Structures are given as C-alpha cells and as structure tokens.
Amino acid sequence: GLLECRRCRYLRTGRAWCQLVQVLLAMLILICSSVSCGSAGGYTGLPSLGGIYYYHFGGAYSGFSGADGERAQQLDQRFRQLKLPVARAAMAAGGCLLVFSCLLLSVGVLRLPWHCPPWLLLECVLDLVIAIGMVPALYYFFHSLLGVYNSSVCKEREQLYQSKGYQGFRCSLHGAEIAAGLWGCITVLAYLLSAGLAVRGYRTLHELKQKPVQL
C-alpha cells in the first residue's frame, strides 16, 4: 500500500505516530484557544427592533435596555480585552507547536535522520525544551485567566447578568479553556515520549551504521 513506499515507511514507526499525535494535540490547543478568543460576548444594539439584545451561541436574549444595556456592552468589551492577550498567546503557542510537529514529521519522511543521525540528538533536545517550557506556559495560561475572572470587571459583569436572570456568565473557567490546558498537559507527555524515542532511534541507527553487512 501507500505506506510501503520507501519514504512513507517512516509513518509506520513509533516516532512518526508520536509526532502525528503532537500535530493533533497542537490543532486541538489552537482550536480551543480560538474559541476562548472568539467568544466576544456583548450586546448589539438593534434600533429597528426597539431594544438591545444579547447574542450568545446564536441565540438572542432580551432583558436589557437603556443604561443597563450600555453598561453591559461596555463590560463585555472590557472583559474580552482582558482575555484577548491570553487567548492570543495560547493560539500562538498552538500554532508554533503545529508547525514544529509538521516540520519534524517532514524531516522523518525525507530520511534526514538516516543520513545524519546526530539530528536525532538535536530533536531530543528540542523535544525536552518544549516539554519543560510547556510547564511554565500552562501556569501562565491558567494564572492569567484566573486573574481575569477575579477582576472587578468580571465580577460586575456577572452581577449585572444575574440581576436579569442570566446564570451562564459566572467568573470561572469555561470548557474550552480547561480543554486547552488538558491538551497542553498531554502535549508535555507526548514530547517527553518523543524525546525518548529519538534517543532510541539514534542508538539503533548508530548500531546499524557500525554493522553495514546486516543492512
């Protein structure tokens, strides 16, 4: 089949599967972060309908008018501005991980490690750097988000919504943000495993290079 091709045989190895998992995890982090960044929230004035309505997941909810509606709109905009830097940083991290994983996968398919075994040691170092760097990145992600949710803007926004009977605007992490953090934790494990597989691959290639008769 397709995987019997000389170059595509790499896709049958454990390192290739691990890198494919890394690609998937990076995509999930990127998607979950974009959900957090894209949830603009806020009120949109519709003069033609005679009021101000809130759009949440495609549904329109009334209940605000006049000064309350304007205040709700301001709070939503300020809340989104507080979350935006954190969400963009998470999206940038997910995008970088996606590009890096695809690059490593392409390098393996092109058989660069076979022609230059020391590349595997470099790959191991890079995997370890990413795995270790993800730990403070995850701490910053959750610490920053919790700071946003503990802010006076979020608290006032929550109280304003609750005064109108809306209960879905609590100052707490939502599902996409928690999922992004969980995918990040799994990514740390994936890169640690990839580093171990890179070292094992280097040892295997070194032994094969020392015994060319057995190739």
Residue 171 lies in a domain: yes
Residue 60 lies in a domain: no
Counting the structural domains of the chain, the total is: 1
Residue 170 lies in a domain: yes
Residue 58 lies in a domain: no
The whole-angstrom separation of Cα 160 and Cα 152 is 12
- Interval 37-81: pLDDT, tens: 665 444 433 333 333 334 443 333 455 666 777 787 888 888 888
Residues 6 or more apart in contact with residue 42 via CB below 8 angstroms: 54, 72, 73, 76, 77, 80
Supply the pLDDT for residue 38: 60
User: Rounded to two decimals, what is the model's pTM?
Assistant: 0.81
Cβ atoms 153, 80 nearer than 8 A:
no
Cβ atoms 191, 130 nearer than 8 A:
yes
Domain boundaries, position 33: 14-42+84-210
Both tokens assigned to 53: 């309505």
Q: What percentage of the chain exceeds 70 in pLDDT? A: 80
Q: If you count them, how many residues does the chain have? A: 215
Q: Which H or E element spans position 60? A: strand 59-64
Residue 55 lies in a domain: no
Give me the helix-helix angle, 175-210 and 14-38, nearest 10°.
160
Supply the pLDDT for residue 30: 93
Give me the helix-helix angle, 175-210 and 118-149, nearest 10°.
170
- Interval 146-185: pLDDT, tens: 999 999 999 988 888 888 777 777 888 888 899 999 999 9
Residue 66 lies in a domain: no
Residue 197 lies in a domain: yes
Supply the pLDDT for residue 203: 87
Residue 47 lies in a domain: no
